[in-house]
Amino acid sequence: MRDWIGLPRRGAAILALTGAVAVASCAPAITTEQEVQLGAQYAAEINRQLPIVQNPQVHYYINQLGNTIARQADPRGIQYTFYVVNAPQVNAFAVPGGFIYINRGLIERSNNLSELAGVLGHEIGHVVHRHGIEQMQRMQRAELGVNLAYILLGRAPTGVEQVGLQLGAGAYFARHSREAEREADMVAINYLIASGIHPQGLVSMFEHLLAERQRTPSTVEQWFSTHPLSEERMHDIQAAINQLPQAQLSNLARDSQAYQEFRQRVRQLPAAPR
C-alpha cells in the first residue's frame, strides 16, 4: 500500500460490516458483470460528450484516492474509474459499475482531503448500493428509459443517448431519492473511517455549498437540483459522526500535502470550454 496520502491502514471490522450491508441490500437481477459492462458503455458515451480532464497527474491522484476508498467500500472488488470534468459548476455523479465523475468546480471548492473524500465516499455509496441501477429500472418501468436488454445484448446505446444524455448525464445519474441520498451519506461515513480519513469533511463540504447557494445560487444549482441537500441532511450526518467513539476518530486524516498539490494543479488547468 502506498502512503501517498499518508493514511494509516485500519478498519477490517468496519469493512466487514459495510460489506454485509451492501450485499444484503441488493438482490441483483442484473449481475455485477452486467452492471460493469453497462456502466462502461454509458461511461464511453459520457466521455465523448463531457470535457474530461486529461492531465495525467490529476487523473492519477483522483483515481488513487477514489480507489483507496472504494477498496474499503465495495465488496465486489470492481475497479473504479474516476474522472475530473473540466466544468466550473459544482457537480458529481456516479454511473453504475464504478464510473464516477467529479466536476473541477467541486474540487476547487473543497478545502481539504476529507471534504473531497467525503464526496467520493458518497458517490461510491451510490454505486455499492446500486442506486443508479434502481433508478434505471424505475425509468424503464415507466417506459421513459431504455430497454436494458438491448444494452446487455451489446447493441449500441442509442436509447441511453436519448434518455440519459438529453437530460444531461449528471442529472440522470445523480437524481436520487432522499432515501438513497441519506443511505449514501451514512455509508460514506463508514468508508472514510475505514480508509483512515475523517468523515467531518462530508459536513463541512455541504456547509460550503449551502453557504454558496445563499450567495450565488447559479454556481451550485446543478448540484442542488440533483442532490436533494438540506440542513436536515447535514445535521443527520453530524449526529451520526457525534455518536462515534472519539478514539475511533482521533487518528484520522483531515488533510494531506498530496491533496493540496492536487487541488493546486486542478486550479491551474486550462479554462473550461464553453
User: At CA 253, angle to CA 248 and CA 259, rounded to 5?
Assistant: 160
> Do residues 233 and 118 touch, judged by C-beta distance below 8 A?
no
Q: What SS3 state is found at 93? A: strand
Name the residue nearer to Zn ion (CB basis): 76 or 227: 227
Residues binding Zn ion (CB under 5 A): 181, 184, 227
- Smallest gap from residue 227 Cβ to Zn ion (A): 5
Shortest reach from residue 272's CB to Zn ion, in Å: 23
Nearer to Zn ion, 150 or 224 (CB): 224
The CB-of-144 to Zn ion minimum distance in angstroms stands at: 20
66-84 burial, b for 16+ CB within 10 Å, e for fewer? Answer: bbbbbbbbbebebebbbbb
Cβ closer to Zn ion: 38 or 174? 174
Q: How far is CA 232 from CA 226, 228, 252, 264, in A?
A: 17, 11, 25, 32
Q: Which is nearer to Zn ion, 36 or 100 (CB)?
A: 100
Choose between 39 and 256: whose C-beta lies nearer to Zn ion: 39
Give least dist CB 64 to Zn ion, A.
22
Give buried/exposed letters for 194-212 (b at 16+ CB in 10 A, else e).
bbbbbbbbbbbbbebbeeb
Nearest approach in angstroms of CB 228 to Zn ion is 8
